[in-house]
Structure 1
Amino acid sequence: MTGYKDTYDAWKRDPEGFWADAAKEIDWFKPATQTLEVKNGLSRWFVGAETNTCWNALDRHVKAGHGARTALIYDSAMLGRVKKFTYAELLEKVSLFAGVLQRHGITKGDRVLIYMPMVPQAAVAMLACARLGAIHSVVFGGFAPKELATRIDDATPKLIVSASCGLEPGRVIAYKPLMDKAIEMSAHKVSATIVFQREMEKAVLVAGRDFDWKEEMDKAAAADARPECVPVAATDPLYVLYTSGTTGKPKGVVRDNGGHMVALKWSMKNVYDIDPGDTFWAASDVGWVVGHSYIVYGPLVHGCTSILFEGKPVGTPDAGTYWRIIAEHGVKAMFTAPTAFRAIRKEDPQAALVGKYDLSKFEVLYLAGERADPDTIQWAEKALSGRPVIDHWWQTESGWPMVANPMGIERLPVKYGSPTVPLPGYEIHVVDESNKQLGPNTTGAIVVKLPLPPGCLPTLWQNEQGFRESYLADFPGYYKTADAGFMDEDGYLYVMSRTDDIINVAGHRLSTGGMEEVLAAHPDVAECAVIGIADAMKGQVPVGFLVLNAGVARPAADIEREAVALIRERIGPVAAFKTAMIVQRLPKTRSGKVLRGTMRKIADGEKWDTPATIDDPAVLGEIEAVLKAGLGR
């Protein structure tokens, strides 16, 4: 198989054979008796097989003679500190912490909740759970007590692993009081917590319940408590990761051990064109799916060097932080959110800081997490002297890319605005509300034909009914992505917005993503968001919010007028786009997603709550004030 089409066709002809072949890259303690089992619409991969994810991420590399290879680079721009761990060193720490967990009664199938900042101990805790066959649930560090308590009650962990604090530019966030409050609020009670004490904020430990990380590691070392990897079924859960939704029962996405490793190992080479020994950097957080898949598990299972970065794309100390890390650590490929590059561009519109660094080893930038508008991609291409900037699309639920430019198979032509083509494992259709397939260039709901491939969620934690209702019920025979878009005549997918962000203007269904693409092309605009707000005459009308590049001194009214004219020129009067407003910043989650739904509720005067995932709640007041001034609402 030499090209994308051959590879994709080979998968379609024999899906089970394709993944059975990919599974040869993984060490199995016991082989599968059945590659795929489908029951009542639910699928399980590599049934009967036994394996261990920690073994595949660490032990087997050390056993193969690669113990001296760098596994993890901790780069804290917050502290100006870099620490490197070889595979042998990381294995030693993980084995010891597995001993700590074991001494606290953690065994196969137990849940351990991890509430940590971006420190190496977070990865160590995840891998130690995997070593014992325990199921980890990582909650983004700094989440409010109520959200943490909800997850404690759903996952019912035996133990929590945390740290005394996390760091944000200009402030220290004490985690321990947040955790204590969550424990107090939760109905389920954990038996113990293990707290990693950081020097900038020491936590007060509760006697008999809270234990010091370092002291516990020292005890395990003294007792030579270094347990071996526990064999688990390929279909056993590795982790539960809660989606960032804030309403109703939390959705705990389950990830199995076997299919997860097969998919991630396959993707490292075929999607990202990374070889063992290469340095790969996913600039995300271990609290999100990207951190699970491409900071911890994917790179380590593949035998790479992975970077764990504590900092922000700007302000730690400037908009050149990403370039410094790429240069200093010889990064071959990087993966981050488009939001990060919009922030860098806003602070350094001419990309002047790039020239300070040697990026000779850097080959390709990947973007995902939110729609990558063509203007951001083109700016990044220019800043990176023409290196490829590749958009790709996936979700917490899928665990790995669904649509991408498969750089390790064949570099396909880039079409701006499209994450390119479906990968093997994903047969993607665009359908209308009645599940009827739509033709090329017609916007509808994006769905994936069942069964889902290895690596995708098999169900929700303790909530199979919720899984069926959320993902399978609306489009029988398909998985509902809740994203909207279209496919062109070449099979390229265009993801335009969440299904909820398709607005109905006087009977015309319009994509807010298409409007954002036009507004982002304005030379003064760093980033933007478009929402549909209620209108008595037309049902909904779009309103645009513009964040300007640093140093723009032109009158706001001129830029807003030009933005309206751009939409009229490129989309037409049908868009009914008459209002653009300049704002200092947009409300975002900590992972960089714009909170359009909350903005819409504010604009429509509906009841709204501050989302638990928001980066800075104060921004919602700013948006409210701008809307009041601009719309008189």
Structure 2
Amino acid sequence: MRITSLQQYHEAYEESVQQPEKFWAGIANQFDWIKPFTKVLDWNFDDYSVKWFEDGQMNITANALDRHLKTIPDQAAIIYEPNEPGDEAITLTYRELHARVCKFSNVLKNQGVVKGDRVCIYMPMIPELAIAVLACARIGAIHSVVFGGFSAQSIADRINDSECKVVVTTDGAVRGNKTIPMKETVDDALVTCPSVEKVIVKTRTKTPVSMIGGRDLWWEQEENEASADCPAEAMNAEDPLFILYTSGSTGKPKGVVHTCGGYMVYTAYTFANVFQYKPGEVFFCTADIGWITGHSYLVYGPLLNGAKSVLFEGIPTYPDAGRFWDIIKRHSVNIFYTAPTAIRSLMGFGDEHIEGKDLSSLRVLGSVGEPLNEEAWHWYNDKVGHGNCPIVDTWWQTETGGLMISPIAGITPLKPAFATLPLPGVQPILVDENGKEITGNGVNGNLCIKYPWPSIIRTTYGDHERCKSTYFSTYPGLYFTGDGCMRDEDGYYRITGRVDDVMNISGHRIGTAEVENAINMHTGVIESAVVGYPHDIKGQGIYAYVICEHPTINDDLTRKDILATVTRVIGPIAKPDKIQFVTGLPKTRSGKIMRRILRKVAEGDTTNLGDTSTLLDPGVVDSIISGAL
């Protein structure tokens, strides 16, 4: 399954394009199937339908856990690094993880959860989060993990969209020096969630919580009483595995659905190849399991490969900005996968936090979430890798399920700030605004994919039309990524940023409409418009233009009120970095807001605003420029 040379990469890529079904069948047959598949692929981008291995049956946990009990039962599977650096790390072997997953699978079954039911998981980064995810997969329940920083309203929206039957949470959470309520937030959400029958609560902070009789249960008590015997449910390859909500260009988050078979095959294959994982190595992905990176490359990808995966509860700057480097030494980490935001933030703290740290165990470095700019690439290469570790600057999305364009560690010649080459099975194409293919090298265009790969999005939960219109209608016959891209003279790809109304904030996609809806809920706000702008740490920051009903008496206080509203409605991750109060917005005569102009002002480029003569009131632009922050 693993590519070992550049020539082998080119051969594998050629086969994956010329004979994709033969190529992916060969990969898929390396897994354990309850019922072998006979049909590899059935697809149609026009009406959007994709099915991989559809007549096969399997269970992803049988391949991520049971398979390894024969060969590496006592090897570490998950290494839990707690928030407090002085606390003892906890290691779960494959045997121990298997037993706990089986126990919690039975806990869910005992509460009436059956195949196809949806389970919402809202937890901090503790081993039980991974256990809950795997337990759902084992019994065929569909997990919907909600990032622990989201608000009660955001949780309620996600629970109601997929009609979750059970919520799994904790009493509280710790991140750095903060204690965060979890159960309390869930309780606030459930006021408007009629589908939820049970709430299972794991103790983490010993925070006093309200436990409602008949609905709320303690994890520990239920697990103690459950059997460790739970055979894996036979799942059709196309049965849904999980729903993960992502922002779109409209205000309502959309539930991206991934299925069991194709997702298993693709995440395992890309993990093994991109990181060039070797048996016995320690892999440290810093992502939260609430995001797709945590799903694919902290839980499923590593475990499918029998890897040792580090799960970190805390933040990179607590108790100081050397925490990542201390973890790497403590657990002899070989492969380190983090976000550009974290790298740039740690750069900003100065080199004293990394100088003298023992990072000699590192062999491969990775980056995910957004392109890694050249300055950060060189710092990462020099200070963390000491020039000895290849950097895999990976491009992919929630919707793709796995890595798409990326160097293969130690094999692909690197170029700073470039995602380099597509992985086998990935067929990128650049098009202009009219959908015409831009051929050759040294060109720019909108990035699309013209052929399905096994872990491609199958639908948006409960709304297939939204999936079709979002990803397959802009350029018929193609999957549109929403990203702009450059292909250089060597055929290397470099992502140049979003071209739709979605911002990339610290590697997390947030829709402009979602933030605008939250701002507009604040009393006194008439209308708002939100754009992204360059930010030294986060890559992109959020710039909000806000029209108030009456002139603000105290701008700073109103800004704080608006920030509190956004935090309450979405969560702190969506708070605007800058709020400018304006008297009007640049609109066309048909009422469309010209965000292009607002983006230019936010970027500080007011000399190249383009044609403003079509605006309903061109004078609005001068007013906005004069008040720019």
Give the shorter-chain TM-score range.
0.7 to 0.9
Q: Which has the higher contact order (CA 8 A, sep 6+)?
A: 2
After superposition, give the CA deviation of every residue in 1:386-410 in whole Å (9 maximum; x if it has no partner): 1222211000001111100022xx6
Distance in 1, Cα, partners of 2:203 & 2:249: 30
Question: In structure 2, the residue corresponding to 1:3 is in which secondary structure?
Answer: helix
Residues 369 and 593 in structure 1, CA contact (< 8 A), matched pair in contact too: no
Question: In structure 2, the residue corresponding to 1:137 is in which secondary structure?
Answer: strand
Residues 142 and 166 in structure 1, CA contact (< 8 A), matched pair in contact too: no
For the pair 1:594 / 2:595, whether they are aligned, the reply is no
Query: Where do residues 52-451 of structure 1 align in structure 2 (5 Å cutoff)?
Result: 52-62=59-69, 64-78=70-84, 80-81=86-87, 82-186=89-193, 188-220=194-226, 224=227, 226-245=229-248, 247-314=250-317, 316-348=318-350, 351-384=351-384, 385-386=386-387, 387-407=389-409, 411-439=411-439, 440-450=441-451
Residues 150 and 571 in structure 2, CA contact (< 8 A), matched pair in contact too: no
Distance in 1, Cα, partners of 2:275 & 2:532: 37
CA shift in 2, pair 1:231/1:543, >3 Å: closer
CA shift in 2, pair 1:7/1:618, >3 Å: closer
Partner of 2:577: 620
CA shift in 2, pair 1:202/1:276, >3 Å: farther
Query: Offset at 1:203?
Result: 2.0
CA shift in 2, pair 1:543/1:234, >3 Å: closer
Distance in 1, Cα, partners of 2:15 & 2:57: 27
- Give, as a single letter, the amino acid of the residue that structure 2 aligns with 1:446: L
CA shift in 2, pair 1:196/1:10, >3 Å: same
Residues 472 and 478 in structure 1, CA contact (< 8 A), matched pair in contact too: yes
Query: Offset at 1:442?
Result: 3.0
Residues 25 and 265 in structure 1, CA contact (< 8 A), matched pair in contact too: no
Distance in 2, Cα, partners of 1:148 & 1:136: 14
Query: Offset at 1:291?
Result: 0.6
Query: Offset at 1:382?
Result: 1.2
Partner of 1:6: 11
Query: Offset at 1:307?
Result: 0.7
The more displaced of 480-489 and 622-631 is: 622-631
After superposition, give the CA deviation of every residue in 1:187-219 in whole Å (9 maximum; x if it has no partner): x32111100122342322111110000011112
Query: Offset at 1:13?
Result: 1.2
Residues 34 and 47 in structure 1, CA contact (< 8 A), matched pair in contact too: yes
Question: In structure 2, the residue corresponding to 1:285 is in which secondary structure?
Answer: coil
CA shift in 2, pair 1:593/1:59, >3 Å: farther
Query: Offset at 1:165?
Result: 1.1
- Give, as a single letter, the amino acid of the residue that structure 1 aligns with 2:37: A
CA shift in 2, pair 1:618/1:469, >3 Å: closer
Distance in 2, Cα, partners of 1:54 & 1:115: 21
After superposition, give the CA deviation of every residue in 1:321-355 in whole Å (9 maximum; x if it has no partner): 1111111111111111100000100012xx23334
Query: Where do residues 519-558 of structure 1 align in structure 2 (5 Å cutoff)?
Result: 547=536
Structure 2, unpaired ranges of 5+: 506-530, 550-558, 583-600, 603-622
| Match of residue 566, structure 2, among 597, 604, 610 | 610
Partner of 1:581: none
Distance in 2, Cα, partners of 1:502 & 1:495: 15
After superposition, give the CA deviation of every residue in 1:412-431 in whole Å (9 maximum; x if it has no partner): 22122211011112111111
| Match of residue 16, structure 1, among 21, 25, 29 | 21
Question: In structure 2, the residue corresponding to 1:610 is in which secondary structure?
Answer: helix
- Paired residues, number: 543
Partner of 1:558: none
The more displaced of 289-298 and 38-47 is: 38-47
Query: Offset at 1:594?
Result: 3.2
User: Normalized against structure 1, the TM-score is what?
Assistant: 0.80
Distance in 2, Cα, partners of 1:131 & 1:544: 43
Query: Offset at 1:624?
Result: 7.5
Query: Where do residues 490-569 of structure 1 align in structure 2 (5 Å cutoff)?
Result: 490-500=490-500, 547=536
- Give, as a single letter, the amino acid of the residue that structure 2 aligns with 1:441: G
For the pair 1:632 / 2:627, whether they are aligned, the reply is yes
Query: Offset at 1:631?
Result: 4.6
CA shift in 2, pair 1:433/1:313, >3 Å: same
CA shift in 2, pair 1:200/1:445, >3 Å: same
Residues 149 and 571 in structure 2, CA contact (< 8 A), matched pair in contact too: no
Question: In structure 1, the residue corresponding to 2:278 is in which secondary structure?
Answer: coil
**Alignment identity in percent?**
36
Partner of 2:527: none
Residues 446 and 482 in structure 2, CA contact (< 8 A), matched pair in contact too: yes
Distance in 2, Cα, partners of 1:347 & 1:603: 37
- Give, as a single letter, the amino acid of the residue that structure 1 aligns with 2:396: W
Distance in 2, Cα, partners of 1:141 & 1:334: 23
Distance in 1, Cα, partners of 2:9 & 2:145: 35
Distance in 2, Cα, partners of 1:624 & 1:139: 32
CA shift in 2, pair 1:245/1:196, >3 Å: farther
After superposition, give the CA deviation of every residue in 1:48-90 in whole Å (9 maximum; x if it has no partner): 100001111111101x131100000010134633111101111
- Give, as a single letter, the amino acid of the residue that structure 2 aligns with 1:298: G
After superposition, give the CA deviation of every residue in 1:547-600 in whole Å (9 maximum; x if it has no partner): 5xxxxxxxxxxxxxxxxxxxxxxxxxxxxxxxxxxxxxx6xxxxx6634xx415
Partner of 1:33: 38
Distance in 2, Cα, partners of 1:270 & 1:226: 34
Distance in 1, Cα, partners of 2:198 & 2:402: 33
Distance in 2, Cα, partners of 1:20 & 1:297: 20
Residues 337 and 367 in structure 1, CA contact (< 8 A), matched pair in contact too: yes
Query: Offset at 1:157?
Result: 1.2
- Give, as a single letter, the amino acid of the residue that structure 1 aligns with 2:566: T
Residues 534 and 540 in structure 2, CA contact (< 8 A), matched pair in contact too: no
Partner of 2:597: none
Question: In structure 2, the residue corresponding to 1:483 is in which secondary structure?
Answer: strand
After superposition, give the CA deviation of every residue in 1:22-71 in whole Å (9 maximum; x if it has no partner): 11221101111200012443111001100001111111101x13110000
- Give, as a single letter, the amino acid of the residue that structure 1 aligns with 2:447: I
Query: Offset at 1:363?
Result: 0.8
- Give, as a single letter, the amino acid of the residue that structure 1 aligns with 2:108: L
Distance in 2, Cα, partners of 1:476 & 1:276: 43
CA shift in 2, pair 1:212/1:126, >3 Å: same
Question: In structure 2, the residue corresponding to 1:417 is in which secondary structure?
Answer: coil
Distance in 2, Cα, partners of 1:138 & 1:194: 14
Question: In structure 2, the residue corresponding to 1:276 is in which secondary structure?
Answer: coil
CA shift in 2, pair 1:134/1:481, >3 Å: same
Question: In structure 1, the residue corresponding to 2:497 is in which secondary structure?
Answer: strand
After superposition, give the CA deviation of every residue in 1:337-383 in whole Å (9 maximum; x if it has no partner): 100000100012xx233343322221111101012101100111110
After superposition, give the CA deviation of every residue in 1:519-549 in whole Å (9 maximum; x if it has no partner): xxxxxxxxxxxxxxxxxxxxxxx997665xx
CA shift in 2, pair 1:624/1:284, >3 Å: farther
Query: Offset at 1:613?
Result: 5.7
Partner of 2:453: 453
Query: Offset at 1:225?
Result: 5.6
- Give, as a single letter, the amino acid of the residue that structure 2 aligns with 1:599: Y
Question: In structure 1, the residue corresponding to 2:271 is in which secondary structure?
Answer: helix
Distance in 2, Cα, partners of 1:176 & 1:502: 30
Structure 1, unpaired ranges of 5+: 504-511, 513-541, 548-585, 587-591
Question: In structure 2, the residue corresponding to 1:122 is in which secondary structure?
Answer: helix
CA shift in 2, pair 1:9/1:617, >3 Å: closer
Partner of 2:465: 465
